[in-house]
Chains A and B, each alone.
Chain A
Amino acid sequence: MALTKRIIPCIDVDLDEDGNPAVYTGVNFEDLKYTGDPVEMAKAYNESGADEFVFLDITASAEGRETMLDVVERVADEVFIPLTVGGGIRTTDDIKETLRAGADKVSITTGALERPELVNEGAKAFGSQCIVISVDARRRFDEEGEHYVEVDGESCWFECTKKGGREGTGIDVLEWAAEAESRGAGELFVNSIDKDGTKDGYDLPLTEAVCETVDTPVIASSGCGGPEDMYDVFTEAGADAGLAASIFHFDEHSIEETKEYLDEQGVPVRL
């Protein structure tokens, strides 16, 4: 056997009206609906055969961050698989606090786009293995990109966005992926604004293009509607891990069922 493909459930955690942490699941980064308690969900996923667990803090406030570090601690105490925590990380102190709370890796999006040195600093201080650079990519069918990919018969490039796709940066995802890797990123987490919440499959051209650009492991995210989509992203796009939220949260598919399907198709997974 060899290294297996990883199946990773992800929770987006915000504060509810009473200030308590709660998991929300959305469509196209919008229309969030309440899904559950983060610690209970983490516990359940730990026992369900998940290979890793991703916790994204989607609160924007400073007081939210304090609460979230406390939740990360409680989640870390329940999870005996690798834990990645992202959301609002902008400084090496943020990285340190998050790792100290029990995260094994941090996922950084905007903080690294705005100040790329953060990647070098984080990798030097804590090791590349814990620095995950996350991109929220959006397809653009205009002349402003650097690397073009064929999608449904049309040529497009992928732009790095901020604020869940609400703000463009003009930065080409493939340029940024290569730069992040050379600065010391240990993994790349590839989200697609176009596919998020659609359940009609991962953005395969995007994932494939990133996998061809970098040597570090690539985690595909956004759009997973079931085990078949995981199969496609592993075999066609070359992803090392597949992330999903809603299909697992709402019990449409279990992790076990997903892995059994992949195993039957000859994809190496941890059963």
Chain B
Amino acid sequence: MSTVSSDQTQSLASVVVVDYGLGNLRSVTRGLERAGADVEITDDPAAFEAADGVVLPGVGAFREGVENADPLREDLLAVADSGTPLFGICLGMQMLLTTSEEGDNDGESAVQGLDLVPGTNVRFADGQKVPHMGWNELEVEREHPLVEGIDGNYAYFVHSYYAVPDDEHATVATTDYEREFPSIVANEEGNVFGTQFHPEKSGETGLQILRNFVEICTQR
């Protein structure tokens, strides 16, 4: 048998993809495997602890995401606290922030994100075509091992809200969609980070980011 489905002969890091009932876990798993990770899809907190890195995937609405992931809230905070890399993708990234305009409507009480990157998710302006869907450029604003070799490359986005961290330094890369918005954020310690776009759908650029993530995981 040839190993056509994987560029790597042995895995570099064990990565857990958090299964909280949302999202296309198959493609993010394939992308991580292609980047050299040994991937387990699970909602078992014991596996989070043992992993070299944890990925919080997600598509859909903020409220639904937060509510689905709520039973795992303390476990995810423990991952971040232990210094293990925690990587949020799309909605998973938005959930790293404190709150969202999306969760706070129609008289329902606001839902709290993980608050690992303090800030709020806001909606694109009225009159703009939403969702922001398609390929757009990444402008790296500061150093972080996740963005090694990707400045000026394109990534695939699908979203109607974007992150606004309280601390400007939390922004690692920005993208321009009639306004400049943060497309990659990270916490101060550097082990919690997220991309608004889908690296698993962003071709070679996305695979580079996933390889960078696997590299971060191996260096723990």
Contact = CB atoms under 8 A, between A and B. Distances in A.
Interface of A: 1-4, 6, 46, 51, 76-77, 80-82, 99-100, 102, 104, 126-130, 186-187, 215-217, 240-241, 270
A80 B158 contact: no
Contacts of B131: 128-129, 186
Nearest to B33: A77
A81 B177 contact: no
Interface of B: 5, 24, 26-27, 30-31, 34, 59-61, 129-137, 154, 156, 158, 176-178, 200-204, 206-207
B30 A76 contact: yes
Nearest to A240: B134
Contacts of B59: 127, 129-130
Contacts of B34: 80
B-side binding surface: helix, strand, loop or mixed? mixed
Contact of A81 (B26, B60, B203): B203
7 contacts: A2-B177, A4-B135, A4-B136, A77-B5, A80-B203, A80-B207, A187-B133
A78 B5 CA distance: 8
Nearest to A99: B24
Contacts of B132: 3
A129 B158 contact: yes
A215 B131 CA distance: 10
A240 B133 CA distance: 9
Contact of B134 (A76, A126, A127, A217): A217
A215 B128 CA distance: 9
A21 to B, nearest CB: 18
Nearest to B90: A129
Given A81-B201, A102-B26, A1 B137 contact: yes
A241 B129 CA distance: 14
Given A77-B5, A104-B201, 20 more contacts: A1-B136, A2-B177, A3-B134, A3-B136, A3-B177, A4-B134, A4-B136, A6-B134, A80-B30, A80-B202, A82-B201, A99-B24, A126-B60, A127-B60, A128-B131, A129-B131, A129-B133, A129-B158, A186-B133, A270-B135
